[in-house]
Amino acid sequence: MKVLVFWDVFGRIWRAALAKELPILREKHKPDFIIVNIENATSGRWAIEKHAREISDLGVDVMTTWDHVFDNISKIEDYLNETNSKVIRGANFYEHKDYKIPWKGYKIVEKNWKRLLVIHLIGEVFMNKKVNNPFEVADDILEELKWEKLDWIIVDFHKEATAEWYGLWFHLDGKISALFGTHTHIQTNDELILPNWTWILSDVWMNWPLYSVIWADYKSVEKRFLTWLNKGKIEQCLDKNYVVNWVIFEIWSDMKCEKIEKIRVRNKLI
């Protein structure tokens, strides 16, 4: 099985970049499943329904989110409640008896008689959300689904601290097929197949404007670097030069990962 992973499609230009590049990548690599993170897909905030559907229509199987997950909740809630919604939220939000967090933090996708489980978690260290322990929640989900027939299991761990992420991959080695990190915006050079054949990478990287500060126009944030002044609106960089980063990995039928490939494309919208 081949899985293609994109993280953090940011804003309208980079939604257009994904729409341009994804058909080319699908033809070249012929992935079985495609996972895309959409947490910043609408102007640096979580995707509205229209944008989630646009990305879904590109042939995406699962869309992950995270720390901006409820920014545009009123503009996507109906889609999230649909039975065939492809969006999952983090699995380890705090639950409360009076305020249930809607939707699940995992999704089982079936295609060509094969079943893929995608789990979405957030780290506890240095993140701005209070969450349940991701190690325990991962174990709980795997225990809950132990009688399901699953061919492959993949985890998206949205985290700040690499050390916490390394701890999770030791914890899950041999229990899942692959674990990739998101949130820190820079692709790492630590891809590895662990002793028990679980694939890992600390950060996939984002799809973003090439000449920007993560996604921002430099002039709009310059004084934040040069002084203590944090006033003023952060403006998106709308230069049409973009970079698309993704990872493709291959997993044997017995859930063992055999190959990892990081790929980066620079291009420009006309």
> How far apart are alpha carbons 262 and 260 in whole angstroms?
7
- Catalytic residue, chosen from 68, 158, 183, 185, is 68
Residue the block writes with tokens 């209070």: 130
> How far apart are alpha carbons 31 and 228 in whole angstroms?
47
Packed helices 11-29 and 49-56: angle between N→C axes, nearest 10 degrees: 20
> How far apart are alpha carbons 85 and 81 in whole angstroms?
7
> How far apart are alpha carbons 233 and 157 in whole angstroms?
30
68 part of the active site: yes
The answer to whether the CB of 25 falls within 8 A of the CB of 54 is no
**Which residues are known to be catalytic?**
68
